[in-house]
Structure 1
């Protein structure tokens, strides 16, 4: 179900981590199948089925969990039922949470009060050997008292009583004849409806409804055509996003967006050489309408190509080039509400009806290795690293003018975004160590000014060590960040930081289905600010336990 993410600082999107089976992150325009939204990329969440919870031979079960944390005085609990038969699979989950004021690393407590609750249900049935259908339902409710601008670190942005109601529903049907590798068609209908009502002490009420509805049809074919095996994916998607505001919610202008897409991708594995080649293309047609400004139309064909070569069984090298476009959102073009207050004076959003669609080309190159039996007979080392660079035309950026007290979106005629990503993982019977590094820079290629949307050198280390042989593990997480100095003109530099967190987890072999953990986040209570100057969480102790039977 596509989500409307352009909702400033009060999105209603929610998904419980306990139900996430797989997350696929595609950077920038490197996806012909999903559509990229230009530089934004795609985060695709796949939820678990009953079969993912049940051990072999079992047909149903229950899972109960609970957690508490000191940093935000939060409590949470959840109950999940799952069951399956030969041709059916069903899951039902109910979650209740409660959160209070958030303790920050600068010693302040950010005002917050919320009581989220969620229900998630999904199921599937095999009608015949070739036909399968399913549906899912996700309900989310949250009543909060929080600042109107949660990212404002000083002063009072005004507390708001906010109520969020989100309903998502999805239906799908799949036809895959067992004797025909050319046909595997899946059709999906989806609807996401979010209503947010906000009341402030000195402000009229805001009310807005965001609805996304769409259909996606894709067929996947497997065939052998010289010079190798092909996995073909091709299909079409249409979806509409509608937004209706009332009261003082002019930050979220009325309007709708229609997206129509056709896409094709061929993933080929060569028969005689250790080479994989991916070629694809996506055609997107965009149309937005606002009662005050009329229509905006844009369309573009976005090709993509990638290659990976494995000259040995432990080395892989890859490269790709891809293009995409992003049309401006309704908020970027039309919003005209107060952005924030400074010393009692408002900074207003200024509409920009002349925004142009953003076009970009991304190039990426990298390599990875995997070594087994390096130090012991049962260990594995995996390393992967890459460099990416993006050239963008009419890059859509945001400027906050403190002198004139106004904010607006604008086009950067030529922008350059580049960076490095590296990941490493060492697994053995004695230790599990995961390392990741990222650095991203963004610059106006004409003026040579930093755009401020990058990420300074950041290194994250996760180490887990078994303590004895009774299911106890000790963990240490370190997050190290360099100073953020390549910031947008007028923004403040942010100092680097080092945050250390420790954990103990217990998963006894003798008690099947039970696990518990205690975590100390930001153990030394170090001051840490992200690149936008927002303080991260302070020292927090959290407890978690789960039992499945």
Structure 2
């Protein structure tokens, strides 16, 4: 980390960040500031952000006939976000599962997480790392929030154009680039930030970008974090909650004109930390996470039959651990995965009479290679088996619109997989349909801006290597066997959803804006895979665990997201109500998060001064529908940002204002107590 830190400190000397940089998106719409409201009254609000969404056609979330949310990089600024949990907490239906002793996170959407049930992409590159254990079971994502430009979260299996396995949903992280980082008239700019938290530690970062001519852009960014052990609301220090993180990113844009463009990016992430708790084996950890991606696009202005995208990527994540306690103290083990992927799609647009059409065809696939070793003689390779997996698919989708009143989206996706390891092999395939019907029949009435839609979609997830091939005996004073199961059947999700989108300006008063999305979903998952306790067939113990198709799961619920902005004041609401059970037994699904409501109220008190102040109230209900019930809790967070001039921003955040002690459901550690965060951002450009 010394070289990275040296580069960081040198870059920081250049200064820089924009208080509320607003970048132009597709179709002339404006990228808004944050999920809590924008800094400037002339910004668009969050649900208007244009991204490439579930259908791979660029449009704003408020127009998408799907449960889709967008978070922009300015959320990092306004909320002082230090982790993906901070970034995504305002997204209904999505829960970030964090552990105090790991900087990696798992993302749960609608009660589904782990082993690829939620597909997480960074600049189009899938993040498939998984290491079995008490902190990282089921999958982990390592990502620096300061690199974020937009995060698009699509809930449910409706985004099957993004690849196989995402029966819970898809999270797409798009990182910063020169074309959106530079302001109008700038050919270069440098930004820096420094943040200190009274209950966590400090962070520094710098970003620089340059435009060379009209066809070439380059951006580089580095961030260093030194997170100390934090205290919970009772004043107790949380064990193994410190870490050190250094990250770097480079992205190049080439735009020669005539509809051609190429983006090539590389992200390097390194972290060191200690994991385990006082009663289990402890480890020193060193994580290296690397992503290289390239995306070519071709969309000529004079030919709507071509909107071509070709993406390729390589991701490599390696976790090196040293045993600190127990029989193997001083020994080493390693978990590594390489993922190679390709993604090709094209959308053709045309009209017939009063009907507009968009037809998308595509192919995608990835190859996972898992390499686990345990030089100390432990059982790491049993719990996260070595093996390889090929997953690929093709899809066709047609979107038909009639005078912006009726929209129909129909699609078919074919998936296939092949998995090998431990002398066994498994294969499978499936065809998944999707149909969405939307109505907007209320033009020129008091319901102008209202859209109703209904969807049926299927998703398909092949078993992960660990689920099919795990084998060995659990160590310690409570041993039991894990048995492999190469005959696991894939999971198939059947989702029905009805939703409402509402978009209106000048609703209560001139100049105000109201955006609202609400949806009810009903998701039936056939052949749900989970570890099952049994006593028959165990190799050496009286009982054992084996991943089996144990359940036909049902998860249903309601989600709400709304933003209202009237310039000097803004309000945001997001909430979720979910229930899940095993249809065959009536047992609860323990992966379903608790009900939650997040309320944001903010003010821009002076028209001529760029300042924003406000607060969030996060109310989480008790989770009693679980084998491990959890108490409810409420948190109050304050935020403030002030820009005395365009090249300087001061930020103040107070998290957990009343110093509440709480333990989020699906996590094993208490959350942080009171934390006051101070942020300084500065910018140079010309």
Fold match, TM over 0.5? yes
Pairing partner for 1:193 from 316, 320, 326? 316
Pairing partner for 1:311 from 441, 447, 452? 441
8 A contact 1:138–1:169 mirrored in 2: yes
Shift of 1:348: 5.4
Shift of 1:516: 1.7
8 A contact 1:173–1:188 mirrored in 2: yes
Summarize the Cα distance change of 1:339–1:455 in structure 2 as closer, same or farther, 3 Å threshold: farther
Instruction: Identify the residue that residue 421 of structure 2 maps to in structure 1.
Output: 290
Instruction: Identify the residue that residue 122 of structure 2 maps to in structure 1.
Output: none
Pairing partner for 1:30 from 153, 158, 164? 158
Shift of 1:339: 6.3
RMSD value over aligned CA atoms? 2.3
Q: Normalising to structure 1: TM-score of the pair?
A: 0.91
More helix by share: 2
8 A contact 1:340–1:348 mirrored in 2: no
Secondary structure at the residue paired with 1:454?
coil
Matched, 1:208 2:208: no
* Structure 1 residue runs without a partner (length 5+): none
Instruction: Identify the residue that residue 88 of structure 1 maps to in structure 2.
Output: 216
Secondary structure at the residue paired with 1:111?
coil
More strand by share: 1
Secondary structure at the residue paired with 2:161?
coil
What is the rounded CA distance, in whole Å, between the counterparts of 1:400 and 1:102 in structure 2?
Answer: 36
Summarize the Cα distance change of 1:337–1:115 in structure 2 as closer, same or farther, 3 Å threshold: farther
Instruction: Identify the residue that residue 419 of structure 1 maps to in structure 2.
Output: 557
Instruction: Identify the residue that residue 126 of structure 2 maps to in structure 1.
Output: 2
Shift of 1:175: 3.0
Instruction: Identify the residue that residue 595 of structure 2 maps to in structure 1.
Output: 457
Instruction: Identify the residue that residue 496 of structure 1 maps to in structure 2.
Output: 632
What is the rounded CA distance, in whole Å, between the counterparts of 1:21 and 1:405 in structure 2?
Answer: 49
Pairing partner for 1:528 from 637, 641, 662? 662
Matches within 5 A, 1:351-430: 351-399=484-532, 407-430=545-568
Matched, 1:483 2:616: no
Instruction: Identify the residue that residue 159 of structure 1 maps to in structure 2.
Output: 282
Could you tell which deviates more after superposition, 373-382 or 278-287?
Answer: 373-382
What is the rounded CA distance, in whole Å, between the counterparts of 1:164 and 1:259 in structure 2?
Answer: 26
Deviations 1:475-510 (A, max 9, x none): 2111111110111xxx232111111111222123xx
Shift of 1:227: 5.3
What is the rounded CA distance, in whole Å, between the counterparts of 1:466 and 1:212 in structure 2?
Answer: 46
Secondary structure at the residue paired with 2:664?
coil
What is the rounded CA distance, in whole Å, between the counterparts of 1:243 and 1:160 in structure 2?
Answer: 21
What is the rounded CA distance, in whole Å, between the counterparts of 1:112 and 1:244 in structure 2?
Answer: 28
Summarize the Cα distance change of 1:49–1:338 in structure 2 as closer, same or farther, 3 Å threshold: farther
Deviations 1:273-310 (A, max 9, x none): 61121111111111111124x11101011110112211
Matches within 5 A, 1:136-155: 136-147=265-276, 155=278
What is the rounded CA distance, in whole Å, between the counterparts of 2:241 and 2:533 in structure 1?
Answer: 26
Shift of 1:393: 1.1
Instruction: Identify the residue that residue 277 of structure 1 maps to in structure 2.
Output: 408
Matches within 5 A, 1:257-268: 257-268=389-400
Summarize the Cα distance change of 1:228–1:57 in structure 2 as closer, same or farther, 3 Å threshold: same
Secondary structure at the residue paired with 1:439?
strand
Secondary structure at the residue paired with 1:467?
coil
Instruction: Identify the residue that residue 438 of structure 1 maps to in structure 2.
Output: 576
Shift of 1:340: 8.1
Shift of 1:185: 2.1
Shift of 1:245: 0.6
8 A contact 1:121–1:137 mirrored in 2: yes
Summarize the Cα distance change of 1:105–1:242 in structure 2 as closer, same or farther, 3 Å threshold: farther
Deviations 1:166-203 (A, max 9, x none): 22112233333332211232222211111211001233
8 A contact 2:349–2:358 mirrored in 1: yes
Secondary structure at the residue paired with 2:214?
coil
Secondary structure at the residue paired with 1:333?
helix
Secondary structure at the residue paired with 2:637?
strand
Shift of 1:347: 5.7
Instruction: Identify the residue that residue 683 of structure 2 maps to in structure 1.
Output: 548
Deviations 1:217-252 (A, max 9, x none): 111211113551112221111210110111132221
Summarize the Cα distance change of 1:241–1:124 in structure 2 as closer, same or farther, 3 Å threshold: same
Deviations 1:57-100 (A, max 9, x none): 1111001011111222x211111111123111211111111112
What is the rounded CA distance, in whole Å, between the counterparts of 2:666 and 2:261 in structure 1?
Answer: 47
Instruction: Identify the residue that residue 306 of structure 2 maps to in structure 1.
Output: 183
Matched, 1:230 2:344: no
Q: Normalising to structure 2: TM-score of the pair?
A: 0.74
Instruction: Identify the residue that residue 109 of structure 1 maps to in structure 2.
Output: 238
8 A contact 1:100–1:111 mirrored in 2: no
Shift of 1:367: 1.3
What is the rounded CA distance, in whole Å, between the counterparts of 2:167 and 2:373 in structure 1?
Answer: 31
Secondary structure at the residue paired with 2:575?
strand
Could you tell which deviates more after superposition, 523-532 or 242-251?
Answer: 523-532
Secondary structure at the residue paired with 2:270?
strand
Deviations 1:296-349 (A, max 9, x none): 1010111101122112232111110000111111111222467686xx434654
8 A contact 2:426–2:486 mirrored in 1: no
Instruction: Identify the residue that residue 474 of structure 1 maps to in structure 2.
Output: 613
8 A contact 2:131–2:335 mirrored in 1: no
Secondary structure at the residue paired with 1:102?
coil
8 A contact 1:102–1:111 mirrored in 2: no
| Residue correspondences, number | 533
Matched, 1:326 2:483: no
What is the rounded CA distance, in whole Å, between the counterparts of 1:501 and 1:426 in structure 2?
Answer: 19
Summarize the Cα distance change of 1:159–1:377 in structure 2 as closer, same or farther, 3 Å threshold: same
Pairing partner for 1:133 from 236, 247, 262? 262
Shift of 1:259: 1.0
Summarize the Cα distance change of 1:121–1:502 in structure 2 as closer, same or farther, 3 Å threshold: same
What is the rounded CA distance, in whole Å, between the counterparts of 1:38 and 1:186 in structure 2?
Answer: 21
